[in-house]
Amino acid sequence: MTSLFLNSRWPGLALLTVVVMALPAILPNAFYVDVAIRIAILAINGIALNLLMGYTGQISLGHAGFFGLGAYGSAVLTSHFGVPALLALLASAAFTAVIAYGVGRVILRLRGHYLAMATLGLGIIVSIVLTNEAAWTGGPDGMAVDGFTLFGFTPSGERQWYWVFAVLLVGTVVLAQNLIDSPAGRALQALHGSETAAAVAGISVRQRKIAVFVLSATVSAVLGSLTAHYSGYVNPGLAGFLQSVELVIIVVLGGMASIYGSVFGAVIMGVLPQVLAGYEGWDSVAFGVIMAAAMIFLPRGVVPSLTAWLRSPNRRRGEGAAC
Amino acid sequence: MMFVKKAMGTVCAAVMTVLVGQSPMPVQAADTVKIGSVLSLTGGAATLGDPELKTLQMYVEEANKTGGLLGRRIELVHYDDGSEPAKANGLIKRLLEDDKVDMLIGGTTTGASMAIYPLVEKAKIPFISLAGATVIAEPAKTWMFKISHHDRMVGEKVMADMKARGITSIGMLSDTSGYGQSARKEMQAVAQRLGVTIAVDETFNTKDTDVTAQLAKMKNNPAVKAIFVVSFGQGAIVATKNIAQLGITLPHYQAHGSASKEYIRLAGAAAEGVRLPAPALMVAAELPDNDPQKQISLDYAAAYEARYKTDLSPFGAYTRDAFFLWADAVKRAGGFDKAKVRDAIESTKGLAGTCGIVTMSAGDHLGLDVSAFKLVTVKNGAFVLAD
């Protein structure tokens, strides 16, 4: 029974869908719905980064930069040029994809620490441009963003936006799982294991890396656009280094190469600061202790470690890719 | 250990909330009124947020000791935005939806205040911002009020003094922060209006540890008859020290962000002779006895320094004025109805505070004019009136 549950992807998806459907009914007020939305945003971003980091093994410390490009792309195009929101979203996503392709071609030749440094630089450059081009972006104080109208419907209020992000989250999970189980996804995991072996097996290592980099960046850009419309306000902080680090934490804490791991990581990163907000001064300490404890006791990430533990009585090997 | 227990309790409460759908907070008795506050207690603006919170806590406690406001106990709910405007935007939802506050005071930075404002307008709740940029109150926004002087007034005060001393051509050094960029634009406009030429217009990053390159350009340009540094905190101190190191003897002006004892202490002898606009608070003892700001300022300084054993800062003073602006409006409105309190704040007339005498109107949500500033100079390590 357990092994059936753990090895099929349907029960997990069903559980996620039920939770997502049921949440609005039990969340008492708009603040909680807002927290849920922010968790969904973190989860989708986490999944996008996990495809790159967890499955393909290419670290990115500048991923929030792509999120920021999407957010600012939509903000600038809709406010300064009066472009319809949907068109602005698509244009920002396309622009981000082109940037990611151009940059990816160069920096994905690097490996390990060098790749980490290059992506770090990329994220910081985006954040500096957003800060300094004040005439377009409003500078460090940020700028306001109008609502999002799609086919005559404008989501307003947390509860309507909730469904937008809920559908997006479930959709991202389904697509990510499909990708991973496809030949392309297996190729990515193969080159994570050993690039040389993957190349010998006939996988075009460089193209695969660039493709997943562009995919991951584009998903984040689309999400950035929607987030900008949802919160009605953007500032350079959302493309900053700390945001990128937060995404890496979500991936690592939840579990590398685990889709639900990223969802779980996002729940932790979304809820913990709110729970700790009342303990001013201690919140950072508690946060650090929890992070360190998770890494010491569940080094593979929470979800993979727990699934491995659940599996062990049935299959004595207790190994294998999670979820 | 107590902390861990408390934290665990909160985690359980939060989980229960999600499961059961009830607020973890006990139901508030009807006889309390809540002030919600999002301040920058950590991060880049922490030196501003810290005195702001301390001041707010001090006056809330004091008011509660004497029976609260209109017989209701005041409860302060505050969160730290980490100097991150996007975080302020999230926390304000918590204050509005979950804590159900009656009034908002806060928004340490301009970014945070502007990030908060769309939600404030939707919720129709009065909000007094502590931030500095002109955009907060111009054009006047229905539910937002401003307490600290516009950066434009700084320029007007400084350049009026320059002209009085016969200086019409200056070098300006501004930082690239949100405040510096906004202020620089305002200063350029004021200079043009008052007929002051900015012969050298340089910028620097607030994190720079040396600005001698920019200052050397001013030193070597004969058209520069005075130097005006538009910055605050560390940036202003670095510029002040560099000016002294280069042996520049030109008149040296600073913006109101340097009007704190911290500035004099850290800049040391280099600060001697610097002229800057400051709230009356900084030179309260020198004011004539019939000045309505004098006693208020002395009382605030005494209370703050006695309680926290640290020097007062203008940012705390802004918060003091915000609190009393609200308290005054509540008394005139005769209750806590949000719309009535808003109307009462807007109709404030001649309310003396540490930073000026406030008279608001529908088109003016600051209510101060340039006379709210005193031009001060640093003499023997203290601020004194310049004139």
**Among all chains, which residue has been given the structure tokens 């919160």?**
A231
Please indicate, yes or no, if residue A147 is contained in any of the structural domains. yes
Please indicate, yes or no, if residue A298 is contained in any of the structural domains. no
With CA atoms as reference, report the closest residue to A250 among A100, A92, A41, A87.
A41
CA distances from A184 to A187, A212, B155, B309 (A): 5, 10, 62, 65
Pairwise CA distance, residues A214 & A192, whole Å: 17
Q: What does residue B234 show for φ and ψ, rounded to 5 degrees?
A: -60, -40
B165 interface with A at CB cutoff 8 Å: no
A261 pLDDT above the threshold of 80: yes
**Cα angle B123, B124, B129; round to 5:** 95
- Paired with B373 in beta bridges are B279
Please indicate, yes or no, if residue A264 is contained in any of the structural domains. no
With CA atoms as reference, report the closest residue to B51 among B239, B230, B238, B262.
B262
For residue B259, count other CB atoms closer than 10 A to its CB: 25
Mean pLDDT, rounded, for A155-163: 87
Q: In chain B, whose CA is at the least distance from the CA of A231?
A: B89
User: Which of A38, A79, A130, A141 to substitute to test the interface with B, most B CBs within 10 Å?
Assistant: A141
Give the pairing type, strands B382-385 and B252-254: unpaired
Please indicate, yes or no, if residue A269 is contained in any of the structural domains. no
pLDDT at B8: 46
The encoded tokens of residue B266 equal: 């850290």
Pairwise CA distance, residues B361 & B345, whole Å: 9
Residue pLDDT, tens place only, A21-48: 999 999 988 889 999 999 999 999 999 9
Please indicate, yes or no, if residue A189 is contained in any of the structural domains. yes
Count, residues in chain A: 323
Residue pLDDT, tens place only, A104-128: 999 999 988 899 999 999 999 999 8
The encoded tokens of residue B48 equal: 């501003």
State the average pLDDT for chain A.
Answer: 88
- Paired with A143 in beta bridges are A234
Q: Is B164 exposed, middle or buried (0-12, 13-18, 19+ CB in 10 A)?
A: exposed
Answer for the pair A208, A51: CB distance below 8 angstroms, yes or no. Answer: no
Please indicate, yes or no, if residue A273 is contained in any of the structural domains. no
Contacts of A141 in chain B (CB under 8 A): 85, 109-111, 114, 133, 135, 178, 182
Pairwise CA distance, residues B313 & B128, whole Å: 19
Mention every residue, 6+ apart, whose C-beta is less than 8 A from residue B70.
B330, B331, B334, B335, B336
Residue pLDDT, tens place only, A70-109: 999 999 999 999 999 999 999 999 999 999 999 999 999 9
With CA atoms as reference, report the closest residue to A119 among A133, A105, A108, A131.
A108
pLDDT at B24: 41
One-character DSSP codes across A170-220: HHHHHHHHHHHHSHHHHHHHHHHH-HHHHHHTT--HHHHHHHHHHHHHHHH
pLDDT at A155: 83
> Any idea of the CA torsion for A218, A224, A227, A228, to the nearest 10 degrees?
-130
Q: Mapped to the 3 state alphabet, what secondary structure does chain B carry? A: CHHHHHHHHHHHHHHHHHHHCCCCCCCCCCCEEEEEEEECCCCCCHHHHHHHHHHHHHHHHHHHHCCCECCEEEEEEEEECCCCHHHHHHHHHHHHHHCCCCEEEECCCHHHHHHHHHHHHHHCCCEEECCCCHHHCCCCCCCEEECCCCHHHHHHHHHHHHHHCCCCEEEEEEECCHHHHHHHHHHHHHHHHHCCEEEEEEEECCCCCCCHHHHHHHHCCCCCCCEEEECCHHHHHHHHHHHHHCCCCCCEEECHHHCCHHHHHHHHHHHCCCEEEEEHHHHHHHCCCCCHHHHHHHHHHHHHHHHHCCCCCHHHHHHHHHHHHHHHHHHHHCCCCHHHHHHHHHCCCCEECCCCEECCECCECCCCCHHHEEEEEEECCEEEECC
Pairwise CA distance, residues A88 & A222, whole Å: 10
Please indicate, yes or no, if residue A255 is contained in any of the structural domains. no
- Beta-carbon separation of B90 and A38 below 8 A: yes
pLDDT at B155: 92
With CA atoms as reference, report the closest residue to B296 among B348, B349, B354.
B354
- Beta-carbon separation of B17 and A28 below 8 A: yes
Would you call A260 helix, strand, or coil by DSSP?
A: helix
Torsional class of A142: left (φ above 0), alpha (ψ -120 to 50), beta (otherwise)? left
Contacts of B14 in chain A (CB under 8 A): 271, 274-275
Pairwise CA distance, residues A65 & A124, whole Å: 7
Pairwise CA distance, residues A276 & A281, whole Å: 10
CA distances from B65 to B69, B153, B336 (A): 10, 38, 20
Contacts of A232 in chain B (CB under 8 A): 118
The encoded tokens of residue A108 equal: 């994905």
- Number of structural domains (chain A) is 1
pLDDT at A106: 93
Pairwise CA distance, residues A178 & A215, whole Å: 14
What DSSP state is assigned to residue A139? G
Distance from CA of A258 to the nearest CA of B (A): 24
Please indicate, yes or no, if residue A7 is contained in any of the structural domains. no
Pairwise CA distance, residues A225 & A45, whole Å: 12
Residue pLDDT, tens place only, A264-293: 999 999 998 888 877 777 777 888 888 888
Residue pLDDT, tens place only, A44-73: 999 999 999 999 999 899 999 999 999 999
Q: What b/e string do you get for A52-83 counting C-beta neighbours within 10 Å, with b at 16 or more?
A: bbbbbbbbbbbbbbbbbbbbbbbbbbbbeeeb
B297 interface with A at CB cutoff 8 Å: no
With CA atoms as reference, report the closest residue to B147 among B321, B387, B384, B378.
B321
Would you call A144 helix, strand, or coil by DSSP?
A: strand
Mean pLDDT, rounded, for A146-150: 81
Q: Which amino acid is at A313?
A: P
Q: What b/e string do you get for B204-230 counting C-beta neighbours within 10 Å, with b at 16 or more?
A: bebebeebeebbeebbeeeebbbbbbb
User: Which of B3, B50, B75, B97 to substitute to test the interface with A, most A CBs within 10 Å?
Assistant: B97
pLDDT band at residue A314 under the 50/70/90 scheme: low
Chain A residues interacting with chain B (CB cutoff of 8 angstroms): 26-32, 34-35, 38, 132, 134, 139-142, 144, 158, 231-233, 235, 237-238, 271, 274-280, 282, 284, 286
Pairwise CA distance, residues B201 & B212, whole Å: 14
Contacts of B85 in chain A (CB under 8 A): 141-142, 233, 235, 237
Contacts of A68 in chain B (CB under 8 A): none
**Residue numbers of chain B with a pLDDT score lower than 50:** 1-6, 8-9, 12-28
Domain that holds residue A230: 30-248
The encoded tokens of residue A53 equal: 């980091």
